Structure 1
Amino acid sequence: MKEIELKLQGKIKRLTNKTFKFDERVKDGWFSAVYFLKTREIVQKYRPNYIVTMQFFQKDHAVLCGTDEVIALVQTFADDPSGLEIYSLKDGDQIEPFETVLTITGPYQNFGYLEGLIDGILARRTSVATNVYNVVKAAGISGTQKPIIFMGDRDDHFTQQAGDGYAAYVGGSTAQATHAMNEWWGRKGMGTMPHALIQLFDGDIIAACKAYQETFPEDELSALIDYNNDVITDALRVAREFGEDLKTVRLDTSRTMIDQYFLRNQHLLGTFDPRGVNPELIFALRKTLDDEGFNHVKILVTGGFDEKRILEFEKKKAPVDMYGVGRSLLKINIGFTGDNVLLNGQPQAKAGRRYRPNPRLEKVELQ
């Protein structure tokens, strides 16, 4: 693996604070579509002095991410990168459909084989950033912005965690589940207890919480309360045991299960879906905690949350304090396209495509 520290000059402000790590086989074209490699050979033979402008765009309203990474890629693997002319928007910029986000001008054979890699970086990072942005927006419609914890570690290959965590940060999530997810922007991962910890204490949530508190006394105590599928009973048990030391309770009830609270109060059933974590369960939990004086305890919900589900909770004003979201944030639903649109400074592009100047682009100087 090769490391390159991104050094940008001019107006572009770098958001990441770490070096990028690239596989050295990029230089050999290992990750490039073969037709780009063949085109490079042909151009070197027949059109070595021709200058092209390649522009990149996508087709949605989105939050752009990946530009720093792309610029580092070009700086690392393009031939004579200082001879290229690059204009770019910044990570975190909100972009319109078909808006040009990046242009690269220079001899095609010096950088053209990187086109697919650039598309892929922008597609993944922008998709994650936009997904997170939309979820964060949904979690704030009630007037109070609820934090979003990025919990995508179990939903994708672990090698993607650093870039995905950075994209989530760009989208508005400032709490991540692993240290790797924080690598590019300078924090450590956060988290408390999984179901496995309670299982190892024979299902005794009190014993598990005591062990956690004794081992990590500097941490705020957050109890996972759905292990026994009786969140209100277990929340009260933990709150009565730990009092002011208990800061948060987390619900992660499976969508295939109905909490014991509803089985004890079947007169409540019939007007809503009682499975999993649902607003009615949150209302009951909040009321029970408040009635016993545990107003300080916050409620964190996890398990299958996405933008639509969070909107449902927020529209009903469910008393959730934080959302933990994973899989839905990693859907790659934004694709980028790179097109050669100028040849030696003159319009030349396939039918339906044209050079789209964008005054928002800022010049990047590579070293």
Structure 2
Amino acid sequence: MDRSPPISPAEAAISSRTDAYFNRTRAIVQRFGDARVTYAVFLRRPVVSAPRLAVEWLEGVARERGTRFEIEVMHPEGTWVGAGDPILTITGSFVELADLETLYLQKLGSPCVAAHNAYQMCLELPKVAFLAMDARHCAGFEMQDMMAYAASVGGRAAQKEGARGFIGNATDATAHWFGAPRGYGTMPHALIGYAGSTLRAAEMFHEAFPEDNLTVLTDYFGREVTDGLAVCRRFPELAAEGRLAVRLDTHGGRFLEGLDPAESYAVLERHAPGAIRRYRSETELRHLVGTGVSAAAVWKMREALEEAGFPKVRIVASSGFNVQKCRVMAEAKAPIDVVGTGSFLPDTWSETYATADIIAYDGQARVKVGREFLLQRKRNGKNGG
């Protein structure tokens, strides 16, 4: 009869979700004698350090197992990390650490890359506020939490350099990462379809949430300018108080109302001629004067608002705002007030793979051939800042 103690749900989850060879390693070390080991954890590309989720998970496992891990954060949260630089070192019982590697690497790599992307985006548009709209692109809640955390880390890092950064996100469950009580957002396209017109959707929203600021989508019927101005005229008080915004989310298959290639160039010639007078890649040209939410589209909307007497109505831009698009918008001096984006999510997932190597066994330095650089960086006491 098996008299071994029952495995807790937490332990069972670790055992079932970790790589099998780590479970077998743990069993072997239990049989032949424990050792005190030190792991170095790193990524192969530059990132912004976002270790909190991994560290908190390791600390929770240590408590569950009645042990202690010495975790040294080599690069504090929100600081730049070079390729191959250890972000963490973890020291403790080999028995208790052997089967954890799979899971803490999952919680480290992708947040660090996403934080780096978010940081870069915010620096490209330092006067623009960002909203994290990543939830719909995430593979479940755990990833959603990691990506919201990452955006908050990257945003705070950019704020230290004078940028506005990420001021919030779209879901209540992860709003705490931004110090907000709830998620931000007013209406999806579905509400406009239900209402039958952009103006009626705005009226419904304001009646239901009269104390909230109003951001209205304007592209549903392809009349971004016409419908945007109609909402402004319906709510002149909100417009005058700066509580009204139009959100541009024009489909990439068409131009914003009133634009075509020639007019797009003309708009930028009026406002940012330097942006179109040098060589541009095809992608950069699309961001400047192409279909969808281009720099020309943002300027066209701003012109219409100013000419109609609504200078305080803000412009929210969304649709594909990654680092490159933010850079092009900055070069065109596009008058964006807020960017809503989930495009800080890592584009090349293989870049998010974090790696851990043991660099010491019972105090004796030892690492596999090819990773000797980890020993050197540990001896140098590498610390990010």
Return the TM-score normalized by structure 2: 0.80
1:359 correspondence with 2:352: no
Q: 1:198 aligns with which of 183, 189, 192?
A: 192
User: Which residue of 1 is the match for residue 91 of structure 2?
Assistant: 105
Cα distance in structure 2, aligned partners of 1:213 and 1:242: 9
Cα distance in structure 2, aligned partners of 1:134 and 1:339: 29
Counterparts in 2 of 1:260 and 1:196: CA distance versus 1, 3 Å: same
Cα distance in structure 2, aligned partners of 1:189 and 1:96: 33
Cα distance in structure 2, aligned partners of 1:252 and 1:150: 15
1:161 correspondence with 2:144: yes
Cα distance in structure 1, aligned partners of 2:294 and 2:47: 29
Counterparts in 2 of 1:345 and 1:97: CA distance versus 1, 3 Å: same
Counterparts in 2 of 1:269 and 1:300: CA distance versus 1, 3 Å: closer
User: Which residue of 2 is the match for residue 261 of structure 1?
Assistant: 258
Structure with the higher fraction of residues in helix conformation = 2
CA drift at 1:25: 4.8
Deviation by residue 1:294-321 (Cα, 9 ceiling, x = unmatched): 1001111111221111111110111111
Maintained 8 Å contact 2:169/2:178 = no
Cα distance in structure 1, aligned partners of 2:229 and 2:352: 44
CA drift at 1:81: 5.5
Aligned pairs for 1:1-367 (under 5 A) are 24-25=10-11, 28-48=14-34, 50-65=35-50, 67-78=51-62, 82-89=67-74, 90-140=76-126, 145-159=127-141, 160-172=143-155, 173-184=166-177, 186-187=179-180, 188-202=182-196, 204-246=197-239, 247-262=244-259, 267-268=262-263, 273-331=289-347, 332=349, 333-354=351-372, 355=375, 356-357=377-378, 359=381
User: SS of the residue aligned with 1:30?
Assistant: helix
Letter of the 1:60 counterpart: R
Letter of the 1:38 counterpart: R
147-156 or 79-88, larger mean C-alpha shift: 79-88
Aligned length: 332
Maintained 8 Å contact 1:148/1:175 = yes
Counterparts in 2 of 1:259 and 1:24: CA distance versus 1, 3 Å: same
Deviation by residue 1:17-70 (Cα, 9 ceiling, x = unmatched): xxxxx972555511110011111111111232x2211111112221111x2222
Letter of the 2:236 counterpart: G
User: SS of the residue aligned with 1:260?
Assistant: coil
Superposition RMSD in Å: 2.4
Maintained 8 Å contact 1:163/1:184 = no
CA drift at 1:347: 1.5
Maintained 8 Å contact 1:119/1:335 = yes
Letter of the 2:55 counterpart: I
Cα distance in structure 1, aligned partners of 2:341 and 2:184: 14
Residue ranges of structure 1 left out of the alignment (5+ in a row): 1-21, 363-367
Cα distance in structure 2, aligned partners of 1:274 and 1:61: 32
Cα distance in structure 1, aligned partners of 2:323 and 2:262: 30
Counterparts in 2 of 1:38 and 1:136: CA distance versus 1, 3 Å: same
Deviation by residue 1:173-214 (Cα, 9 ceiling, x = unmatched): 221011122245542100011111111111x11111111111
Cα distance in structure 1, aligned partners of 2:229 and 2:120: 34
Cα distance in structure 2, aligned partners of 1:60 and 1:68: 19
User: SS of the residue aligned with 2:315?
Assistant: strand
Deviation by residue 1:263-310 (Cα, 9 ceiling, x = unmatched): 6xx752688643111111211211111112210011111112211111
Cα distance in structure 2, aligned partners of 1:233 and 1:47: 75
Cα distance in structure 1, aligned partners of 2:83 and 2:264: 45
Letter of the 1:75 counterpart: E
